[in-house]
Structure 1
Amino acid sequence: MINFNGDLVQNSNQSIEKNRGFLFGDAVFETLKVLDNKILFLEDHYFRLMASMRVLRMEIPMDFTMEYMEEQILKTISCFDSNAISFRVRVTFFRDSEGLYLPLDNKSTKFLIQVSPLENAIYINNSNEYEIEIYKDFYVTKQLLSSLKTTNKLINVTASIFAEENGYQNCLLVNNEKNIVEAINSNIFIVNGKTIKTPPISDGCVNGIIRKQIIELISKSDEFTLEEVSISPFELQKADEIFLTNIISGIQSVSKYKKKEYVSEIANQLLIKLNAKIRLS
């Protein structure tokens, strides 16, 4: 069961040969996590989605308020036949118009909500081997569009295939200045002593929701200093710890890059604080 423009249906019956999201990547999406019938960081997700639509010059439906989005997501989950208490939710908006690059009608958008159950409720730092490598075939460009979650994700797709073919659990993407931007599906943080670094949004990384939460947690700490700065690939092997963040897995520690192996001490500390924040909010 999916939610297509407010209606619960088995499928959207959309014609892909006329769908701009399929033809031109003319769509934006938001991935959310729902725990115990509560959408985590709903306000952050909603305003990021609205900001992304404005950047793409999409018409935002007048009735698509934050309360309406919450209502539609929970309605979709309520019809899902599962005993799970945690769900992955994807909300996709696409421009509903015929045309070529230029849409014939720029006044109509439609949304699609898809739901799938998650195995873990709270965030757990997977302690299994997690090896990464840098993906160098294509670069992320330093521009605003790179920070949006659009359906144009060919770099992420090809990097995922590269990782699978070579036995890596993830890959790091670099921008046109050869600095580390993010992982395939996550933001990145590196720890060196008492300093924790993460790339700035201006370097081309996605403006992650959990990235924002981790930055706030670190900023409130007297023990660590946070720096939003460009990260050179050479810094990876000097780091004491590397961890990745996204809304579904929370925090994932990296265990190995090339011959360097890493601990997960700081990531585990932050994970406890992140789960505590979720319970209190």
Structure 2
Amino acid sequence: MNGLIYFNGMLKHEHEVTLWTLDRSYLYGEGLFETLKASQGFIPFLPEHLQRLFHGMEVLRMRFEISASKIEFALYQTLHHNRLKDAYLRLMVSRENREIGSMEIGEGSNVVVLARPFEKPPLRLYTEGMSAQLVEDFKIFPDPLCQVKSTNYLRPLLAHRMARESGYDEALLLNTFGNLAEGATGNLFIFDGKKILTPPLSEGPLPGVTRQVVLELMKKNYLDYEEGPIKMADLLAAEEAFFTNSIKEIAPLTSVNDKPIGTGKVGAQTQRLMELFQEELQYRLESFESKRWGVK
């Protein structure tokens, strides 16, 4: 698709957009990105994405003038001018280097937004569940950079590729403590028969937007949950498990390394959270429509 791209305040055709080779995202992987899903012309979890983005900018000390409202305008402008309602959006923020061979930061910065028609994940991921492989080649060391969704994405990228080449849907990553930290493309949750568990941010997972929404939904609906370390043995002994991310939302995990989780089928707790998530999504969509038309 040869669509329009938002590039530093202007909408351009793809062939017109070129990133300067001094972009630090290109040179060093020092950039930030957000993957967002638009539904019916609305980006339902935009506030959570922007909160993470601006936190990442603080961690990377990316001090340049850009406001949340400007980014919101860029996203919706790109969405609407590409005549899309259900879409995949990719937001990227980076700075430029002073010159080649130098670590000095230049004065330039880049804000880019891409939009593509949304393609639903395969239905089997929700009806049969996902399969995962434990990839032990790349371990996560919990530090402040784990809290940043940076363009230096090598660890999850390679782990995911290795799992896919072996015939699995997803990769599982360990941290340096030997505990499960996350999936290559999503946060991990398990149900041990009594409560739902997910690794805390101190264990090194990315602070996923859907993870945050699910935690809030469990609290609001009085579901027993806990943030705590998860070992591989805990996952294999669990009754249910699932991944969360912005595109798949909540996707059941029914097997790991060819071993079934629980019965090997989508469990009741996972289904309940999938329903609650869709209710939250619908509520946000209806709230957006009410504000747009001035309905109270």
TM-score (norm 2): 0.87
- 1:114 equivalent to 2:114? Answer yes
- 1:132 equivalent to 2:132? Answer yes
Residue identity opposite 2:140 in structure 1: V
* Structure 1 residues 214 and 101: CA distance shift in structure 2, 3 A: farther
Matches within 5 A, 1:63-78: 64-78=66-80
1:101 Cα shift? 6.1
Matches within 5 A, 1:83-162: 85-99=85-99, 100=101, 102-105=103-106, 107-120=107-120, 126-162=126-162
1:67 Cα shift? 2.3
Residue of structure 2 equivalent to 1:13: 18
Matches within 5 A, 1:138-217: 138-217=138-217
C-alpha separation in 2, matches of 1:167 and 1:104:
42
Conserved? CA contact 2:88–2:116, under 8 Å: yes
Residue identity opposite 1:7 in structure 2: M
Residue of structure 2 equivalent to 1:36: 40
1:60 Cα shift? 3.3
Conserved? CA contact 1:124–1:271, under 8 Å: no
RMSD of aligned residue pairs (Cα, Å): 2.0
- 1:50 equivalent to 2:54? Answer yes
Listed one character per residue, the Cα deviations across residues 121-164 of structure 1 (whole Å, up to 9, x for unaligned) are: 9x996224521111101111111101210011111111122112
C-alpha separation in 2, matches of 1:255 and 1:242:
7
C-alpha separation in 2, matches of 1:250 and 1:218:
15
Conserved? CA contact 1:133–1:168, under 8 Å: yes
Conserved? CA contact 2:128–2:265, under 8 Å: no
Conserved? CA contact 1:93–1:112, under 8 Å: yes
* Structure 1 residues 18 and 250: CA distance shift in structure 2, 3 A: same
SS of the residue 2:97 aligns to:
coil
Conserved? CA contact 1:243–1:251, under 8 Å: yes
Residue identity opposite 2:283 in structure 1: L
C-alpha separation in 1, matches of 2:246 and 2:124:
12
Aligned length: 273
Conserved? CA contact 1:144–1:202, under 8 Å: no
1:54 Cα shift? 0.9
TM-score (norm 1): 0.91
Residue of structure 1 equivalent to 2:276: 273
Residue identity opposite 2:18 in structure 1: N
The unaligned stretches of length 5 or more in structure 2 are 285-296
The unaligned stretches of length 5 or more in structure 1 are none
Residue identity opposite 1:53 in structure 2: M
Residue of structure 2 equivalent to 1:232: 231
Listed one character per residue, the Cα deviations across residues 24-57 of structure 1 (whole Å, up to 9, x for unaligned) are: 0010111111111111111111111111001100
SS of the residue 1:96 aligns to:
strand
C-alpha separation in 1, matches of 2:184 and 2:117:
22
